Chains A and B, each alone.
Chain A
Amino acid sequence: MSTSDGDRSIVAEGITRDFADLRAVDDVDLNIRSGQIFGFLGPNGSGKTTTVKMLATILALTAGSARVGGFDVITEPQKVRARIGVALQEVGLDPLMTAREMLVLQSRLFSVDSATARVKADQLLKTVGLDDVDPKKRVGQFSGGMKRRLDLALALVHDPEILFLDEPTTGLDPVSRLGIWEEVRRLNTERGMTIFLTTQYLEEADRLADEVAIINKGRIAAQGAPRALKKEIGSEVVTLSFASSELAERASAVLEAMAPKRRVVERDLLCYFTAAADKLPGLIRVLDEAQIPLQALTMSEPTLDDVFLRATGHRMTDTEEEAS
């Protein structure tokens, strides 16, 4: 790695990408430390994949600049490619080849000699749990999950410094998802790989990432360590549920003095406090006096969804529903 970026694996400044009249990624800055798991969190269509493709040198930037592994993605793409492994959301496999053939070929394209490539292929088949598959079976006959695992193995043939995983667990069952999480942690801790992981799952970003950036409609809405981001909101969230959104709005009005940090989301009123337990009797009394019937009350720690909500004005899960 060149020294100009210090301990940064990925540095992006104002990267922007337009498709016809749509701005898919808008002025995104990234500053990702080496050895980190970086979670790039956002709903469908928010610009995650477009960002990955630009950083991985296969999509031109409309504006801005980016350095990955110490090299410029536009002027030194070959050097960047040699240092990164990429598993895109849509797997890219040749249905006529076997898994081992694909792994050997991939290694050869990264200038690994053929003897080493064969050894490496067998190791990786074991790593991703495909070593018990009939060696003559062509990739076209693999199940979706097997294809996903092979695709991950292909991204690892050259022991990349930086690994891009674009929604690696989307569509996977919970057990497979946990398997991927373990593998991501292992690659990060044992090999020190910097991992850039995009996800639409809040829990995934929360559990795996050292740092997250939340992207919405092509723009970064919030960025930081998950814990710090949640802390900014307050240490506890009280969710008051009502029969209608009008009631929630009315409740919000009467609680203005008691809960300065609050937000209405449909029929819920969310209040953020540093110590919520003390506030509960007061909240209930005020609502009672105003004759606003409360349906339910829950108390929880803030999640990244609350961070998303504060940054964008809507819940990520709602955006998901809109998108689908």
Chain B
Amino acid sequence: MTDVLVLIWRSLRGSLRTPIALIPNIAISVFFLFVFNSGLSSVAQLPGFRGSYLAFIIPVSIVSASVGGAGIAGQALVTDIESGYFTKLLLTPASRLSLVWGPMVAGAVILVGQVVLILALGLGLGLKAAAGPAGLILVLVFAFLWGMAFAGYAVFIALKTKSGAAAQAATFAFFPLIFLSTTFVPKEYIEAGWLKWAATVNPTTYIYDAMRSLLIDGWVLKPLLIGLGVMLGFATLTGLLALRQAARATQLG
């Protein structure tokens, strides 16, 4: 367990030592929050729309931030591979799990820090979370889990390609995940059949649902359980892919 903790701490410290790399990502999520909140808030006027548009759009800001957290994790790993430090870690008895969890958890923790900032801005803009402070903390937990899921994918790609450019390009896969969903309007308002279908099969929809239910409706068990299940499933899947690739790194040399 020590190996996991020391490697997470090392990755975190590394990221915090290059704070400039964190800025674009923070800027993007704040951009989402302000632009969509002020530009699309009239959606909330539609009949049947529950809650404020601010509460509706904050999860989009959070999920888009998780792309950045994943990017940090993938990039950190590629840097380690290129510097030869990853090989040095492979030579230690540290578990292969700790090698992938170090950057993944660090990416997800940075994401949580960013989400704290987003929520604080939201509260400043008048957000009233229906589930109260405990609900906001659960939003942070969800952000962490979703951050782990995305970071697992980024780490997997980094280990597989060993290329910074490829790891960067791979985050492109997140965009359909974020936008082919109930990103800007609830599912009832989506008219195009294909988008409705995409939103139904897209796991991100259930993350939005879970976070929105906490911010808009309060404590409703069903969306929370579905969301949690999707997050755990997705995080486990990408985490296992990353772990398998790390074990292979030993074999391929």
Contacts and interface: CB of A to CB of B under 8 A. Distances in A.
B91 interface: yes
A108 B6 contact: yes
Given A92-B83, A111-B93, A105 B251 contact: no
A244 B215 CA distance: 91
A50 B88 CA distance: 15
A97 B86 contact: no
A225 B231 CA distance: 61
A97 B76 CA distance: 13
B161 interface: no
Please classify how large the interface on chain A is, using the bins under 10, 10 to 19, 20 to 34, 35 or more.
20 to 34
B87 interface: yes
Given A91-B84, A94-B83, A111-B2, A60 B251 contact: yes
Instruction: Name B's interface SS.
Output: helix
Contacts of A105: 6, 10
A58 B93 contact: no
A56 B87 CA distance: 11
Contact of B87 (A60, A81, A88, A111): A88
Contacts of B14: 94, 96-97
Contacts of A78: 93
A93 B84 contact: yes
Interface residues of B, number: 26
Contacts of B10: 94, 97, 105
Contacts of A240: none
Contact of A81 (B17, B83, B92, B253): B92
A118 interface: no
26 contacts: A58-B87, A58-B90, A58-B250, A58-B253, A59-B253, A60-B251, A60-B252, A81-B93, A82-B93, A92-B83, A92-B84, A93-B85, A94-B83, A95-B83, A96-B14, A96-B17, A106-B88, A106-B92, A108-B3, A108-B6, A109-B2, A109-B6, A109-B7, A109-B92, A109-B93, A109-B94
